[in-house]
Amino acid sequence: MNHINVVGVSGSGKTTLANKIAGKFDLEHIELDALHWKEDWTSHDEEEFQKKINHFIDKHKNGWVIDGYYGNKQGDKPWDEADTIIYLDIPLWLVKLRIIRRSLKKKVKRELVWGTNKEKLRHQVSLQKSVNKWHPETRRQMKDFSKNVPKGTKYYHFRSNKEANSWLDSL
């Protein structure tokens, strides 16, 4: 388990789990959001985004943990080179609550988000709408993926962070 792709919608706990895995196994970790967002909440185009992801993977051949899910925009490399895929399938009500809590905390503390970006109300509204759309879509896509997991790739589907943490503790 040296090349790990942690997938789920915003607020599912991807980054928290990915940080724990990276720390436990001494692997490099990157959030796809950190590669995706430029200043003032503008995003890299698909080609540039994939170049950034591929550079990270190529630079850390000995091991990495990637967390995030951008569908086809992220390209195939994180999937093709992963030996482990972890899907955090957390209930919609809980991820929405976590997003609000996280955003309020960052706003109050005036923390920057991915470079020079700051939490804004319009971003919060947009993110809530996005999660409403992507929660069922991600679930559908991951269900399809689970039927065709590449040979040699381990696939884990966790429905709670407690379940994921128990799994990690058992390793």
pLDDT for the residue 80: 94
pLDDT for the residue 143: 95
- The C-alpha atoms of residue 22 and residue 141 are separated, in whole angstroms, by 25
Structure tokens at 99: 């997003």
Question: For each successive 10 residues of the chain (171 residues), what is the average pLDDT?
Answer: 96 97 98 90 92 97 96 92 97 94 80 75 78 93 94 97 98 96
pLDDT for the residue 78: 94
Cα angle for residues 57, 68, 63 (degrees, 5° grid) = 30
Q: Could you tell me which CATH class the domain 3-170 is placed in?
A: alpha beta
Model pTM? 0.92
pLDDT for the residue 127: 80
Task: Give residue for tokens 């679930």.
Answer: 139
